[in-house]
Chain A
């Protein structure tokens, strides 16, 4: 777990002052997060400033209701879609951090006058990694200044998107360190005792808290949903404090129905849970495979 010292926040929990990073693993993950981010703003009297070269009706994850009212939102400037050329490039098409920060400052500054409660900024920086040399220093400097603008603000919040698949590890690590918050999809389930979050790379679920009979039905439903995915399905159990035998049996039953090349992989098994599984015997749980342990790959595919 290399990201534990960051605040990990579900997208619905993003709040003013957050300068967040969305390191998405696939487009479904990005669309799910951005759809919620945009929709929550538009239904909550907040402004969205989206820097992208895509037209407004092609924004990632747009919900049908938002799409139907797109003209109204753009006319009222509750949804502001700015091209990269207008927002953050200089006359020669190069990334101009100063211009980006000016644009952000201007849009945040007009929030109150335009009658909105807050301004949500977002852009996807992955285009900067698209085969061209990246001015890392300029980018990180920009992120620091972006954080300095958003951090103390009572009305501004920002999500910087980055495609993890195209971002080299060293650059990702540097980029991550300029953000205080990592944003992720809203949990599929969270009742205070158990949280179930869909994961995308690797595909599967992250379980946090305690899983027992009281939550078998929701777990079974979520497990069945991800089990339809092709290939290995991973369960991230690093923050699972308790797993009952019924849940283990549910996992084993589902795993037994899968093919050998599509196992159910248990990542970061806490020692207490591992102890129970070893007592029962891995050989009695065919299809269940121990994956990554303590953050180090061990048959996992992250």
Chain B
């Protein structure tokens, strides 16, 4: 048994019903109110109603935030939340957050990224001293998601006690396990360009034309151009040619892939941890920007998939395409 400690904690609260949820969540939140923490509860409306009722007067010390807007994008959510935790720590306080991830309506790729974010939370927030508690409704969720939570949270909460999770994995080990399967090959009609001498200006012209033809909104076109420039720059600086650029559309998404023959060195970080404000870029190359750049690429795209190994490196950027006016998903027509 592990006593509730003052240091960083990231715990899963599996619950089968309201009683189990409240037994774990209410003491957690009340402790924060009593200690003067910044206390947040990110939940669905139903859970908020339950918690407010159970907390009584203590509810006034809790900021309630709706989960569907909070859990909008793994990298952006983590960056925002980490910013809150750093701000609190900077002011001599602790961020105490009850976060009920929104798992429904997510496709398998998104689920994997949220699970990856749960794992990386253990690295990103460790220095902030934040207390994070994640309720998982075991009856409503697929068993694999609940089992996954025991690998990404060091401890499980039962009532007011925390027990170590024997199946907990080192976050980087978990991250690597997420990426063991090869990416599906690009479709036969993908546009492919093999590049020996990279002209970034010309490359942006090409990608921009493709994206606009695919009806990617203007803001997202700009984000894609910044992202692909960064990934291509990394390939130029650290990869081995030739570099391949591929573009295609999947239902509902534009995909842009940069592949080269190089292999990333260990400890790259994959842009999963937000760079610390004012801290030197510890994973940067000689002229800086590596860690910041790849992290920012994740902020700009709906999804970034990376595979690196002996066969080379592939970075695949996905941006969501809007529904067309006829309700069908956009596909590239040019």
Contacts and interface: CB of A to CB of B under 8 A. Distances in A.
B83 interface: yes
A212 interface: yes
Contact of B289 (A210, A245, A279, A286): A245
Given A245-B297, A246-B293, A276 B200 contact: no
B293 A210 contact: no
B222 A275 contact: yes
A26 interface: no
A249 interface: yes
Interface residues of B, number: 32
B223 A253 contact: no
Contacts of A69: none
A166 B201 CA distance: 43
Contacts of B79: 281, 284
Interface stretch (B121-129, B188-196, B275-283): B275-283
A73 interface: no
A245 B223 CA distance: 11
Contacts of A214: 199-201
Main secondary structure of the interface of B (DSSP, over half): helix
Interface residues of A, number: 27
B296 interface: yes
B219 interface: yes
A73 B293 CA distance: 55
A189 interface: no
B137 to A, nearest CB: 32
B113 to A, nearest CB: 17
B292 A249 contact: yes
Among the interface residues A242, A243, A244, which one has the most CB atoms of the partner chain B within 10 A? A244
A46 to B, nearest CB: 36
B298 to A, nearest CB: 11
A214 B232 CA distance: 12
B121 to A, nearest CB: 18
B226 A246 contact: no
A250 B236 contact: no
Contact of A250 (B76, B218, B230, B288): B288
Nearest to B75: A279
Main secondary structure of the interface of A (DSSP, over half): helix
Contacts of B223: 275-276, 279
Contacts of A279: 76, 223, 296, 299-300
A264 to B, nearest CB: 14
A286 B233 contact: no
Nearest to B79: A281
A285 B258 CA distance: 28
Contacts of A243: 226
Given A246-B293, A249-B289, A250-B288, A212 B300 contact: no
Nearest to A246: B289
Contacts of A77: none
B274 A284 contact: yes
Contacts of A171: none
A212 B275 contact: no
B293 A249 contact: yes
A272 B227 CA distance: 13
Contact of A213 (B83, B236, B278, B299): B236
Contact of A212 (B76, B201, B288, B296): B201
B244 to A, nearest CB: 18
A210 B226 CA distance: 11
Interface of B: 76, 79, 83, 199-201, 204, 218-219, 222-223, 225-226, 229-230, 233, 236-237, 274-275, 277-278, 281, 287-289, 292-293, 296-297, 299-300
Given A246-B230, A276-B223, A283-B83, 10 more contacts: A242-B204, A245-B230, A245-B289, A246-B233, A249-B289, A249-B293, A256-B278, A272-B219, A283-B277, A286-B278
